[in-house]
Amino acid sequence: MGTFAAVLCAVLSSAKDIISKRLASHLDGTTSTFASFAFAIPYYLLVLAILACFGYETITLAGTFFGLVLLRALSDSMAEGCKMHAFGHGDISVVATFFSISPLFMLIIAPMLTGDQTTLHGAVAVAVVVLGSVLLVYHPSARGWAEQKKGILLAIAAAFFFSLNSCFDRLAVKKGTPVFAGFSMTLVSALFLLPWVFLRRDRLTAMRVHQKELWMRGFLEIAFMVTKLYALQFLPPAYVAGMQRISLVLSILSGRLIFKEPDFGRRLAAGILILGGVFWIASLQ
C-alpha cells in the first residue's frame, strides 16, 4: 500500500504542476503559493470531520509534533514559493527536471534528520545519474535558454527545501495521522503567507477571478499531501522521493502536449534517466 500511495502521489503532483503552470501567467508566485495552501484547508476540514464522525481520526497535541509541523510549514512555504516563481520563469519540463535533484540533497540531509541511511553504492548511483541528467538537459546554446536561468536557479532552491520538508514529513507522520498532519502543516504554511496576500487587493482579486482552477488545485493538494504522508508511514523518504519522480516524465509529456514546449526528445531522455536512477537508489534501501 505504501508503494501504491507513492505512485498515486506522483500522478497527483504532476496534475498540480500542470494547473500551477497554467496559473503562472495570471498569479504571481507568492499569491499562487498561498492559494495552494488556503484552497486546500476547507477540503481538509471536511475530511477531518467525516473521519472524526466515524472514529477514524486522532487529534495529536504533542509539543514535538507541532514543532515538526512548524519546521515543515516553513520549509514547505519556501519550497512552494520557489516552485511557483520558477514556473513563471521557465518551461514546466525544464523546472520539473531540476526539482528532481531533491533526492541528491536528501542523501546528505536524511541521515542527519531522520536516521535513514543510504549505501555508498546507492549514493554514488544517484549523484552520477541525477547530475548526468542535469547536464543532458543543460543546453546553453538553445534558443530561450538564457531566459530560463532564473527559473532553473529557483527550481534548484525548491529542490533543496523539498528535501527538507520530506524529512520533516517523515518525522511528523510518526507522531500524527496523515490527514491531521497534512492539515496542520497546510494551515501553518497558509498563515505564514497570509499577511503578504491579505494586504494586497490585486492579489485577492486575482484569486477571486481564478478561483475555479484554485479550488481544483486545492483538492489535488490535499490528495497529494495525504497520499505522500501515508506512503511515508511505510517507506523511507528516499524511496518515496524516488517514486514521486514519475511526475517528472508526466510533466515533460504535458509540457510538450499542452504547452508546446520545445526540445522534447532531449528533455524526455533526461527525465527517463533521472527516473531510472532514482528507482535504482530506492531499490537499494
Stated pTM of the model:
0.72
Distance CA 89, CA 118 (A): 34
Task: Give the HSE-up count for residue 123: Cα atoms under 13 Å, Cβ half-sphere.
Answer: 12
- Cα 61 from chain centre: 26
CB atoms closer than 10 angstroms to residue 223: 21
Distance CA 159, CA 153 (A): 10
pLDDT in tens, the chain (285 residues): 777 888 888 888 888 888 988 898 899 888 998 999 999 999 999 999 998 888 777 777 777 888 888 888 888 888 888 888 888 777 776 777 777 778 778 878 888 887 776 667 666 766 666 665 565 556 655 555 566 778 888 888 988 998 898 888 888 877 777 888 888 888 988 998 899 999 899 999 999 999 999 999 999 999 998 898 888 888 777 677 767 777 777 777 777 788 777 777 777 777 777 677 666 756 665
Distance CA 143, CA 146 (A): 8
- Cell of residue 194, nine digits: 497570509
Q: Break the chain into its structural domains and give their ranges.
A: 2-283
Enumerate long-range contacts of 196-199, CB under 8 Å, 24 or more apart. 196/30, 196/34, 197/30, 197/31, 197/34
